[in-house]
Amino acid sequence: MPLATTLSRRRAFEGRVISVTVDRVRLPHGPEVDLEVVRHRGSVVLLPMPAASEVILVRQYRYAVDRMLWELPAGSLEAGEDPAAGAARECEEEVGLVPGRVEFVGRFYPTPGFCDEEMSYYRLTELGPPAAGSTAAQDEDEHLEVHRFSVAEVRRMVEAGEITDLKTAFGVTLI
């Protein structure tokens, strides 16, 4: 049962990945307020581990901050997509490898103050090449490079401020 009561909802924006609603809400302690909420169908963050002490990161251009960032591979789920299947799909698209094992690690809200996105983390192991004829490819808006690191090196990169992407800095704690 919701703690707040939604009195009305107006869609302010509808995009390819997100939508924004303005909700008139009665909060649990009584007041009525207008809240802007980013709606997102969810995402997956990958912990692709070719070996027990290694992890794959991507170096990716992010337009919003106009920087190349070190990140764990990640992506939005397709409408109705099972998160474990989405993790396997993203691994093939971004890393170029197919996981033999997909293990759920945890689900978190990255920005619950204004967004309903659930971010699911998966450890991917037993990585192998894609099947012959696979058509998986990076999305048109992606520019990324794939790199393999020791887990110790990735932790050092977080501590040194070389990794500034929060989902990645947090994800390193889940390895």
Give per-residue pLDDT as tens, 109-149. Answer: 999 999 999 999 999 999 998 876 666 565 666 678 999 99
The answer to whether residue 92 is catalytic is no
pLDDT, position 144: 87
Beta strands in 15-143 (DSSP E): 18-26, 32-40, 43-48, 54-62, 67-71, 74-76, 98-108, 119-128
Q: What is the mean pLDDT of residues 71-89?
A: 97
49 pLDDT more than 80? yes
Q: Are residues 57 and 141 in the same domain?
A: yes
Q: Are residues 115 and 161 in the same domain?
A: yes
Structure tokens, 165: 């992407």
pLDDT, position 145: 93
CATH number at residue 152: 3.90.79.10
Q: Provide, rounded to the nearest whole percent, the portion of the chain with pLDDT above 70.
A: 94
Q: Are residues 34 and 48 in the same domain?
A: no
The count of structural domains within the chain is 2
How big, in percent rounded to 5, are the helix, strand and coil portions of the chain? Answer: 20, 45, 35
Q: What residues make up the domain containing 35?
A: 5-40
Q: What is the mean pLDDT of residues 35-55?
A: 98
Q: Which of 140, 145, 153, 159 is catalytic?
A: 140
Q: Are residues 34 and 68 in the same domain?
A: no
pLDDT, position 42: 98
pLDDT, position 143: 75
Q: Are residues 20 and 96 in the same domain?
A: no
Q: Structure pTM? A: 0.91
Q: Are residues 68 and 151 in the same domain?
A: yes
Could you give the dihedral angle defined by the CA atoms of residues 94, 57, 50 and 41, in that order, rounded to the nearest 10 degrees?
A: -50
2 pLDDT more than 90? no
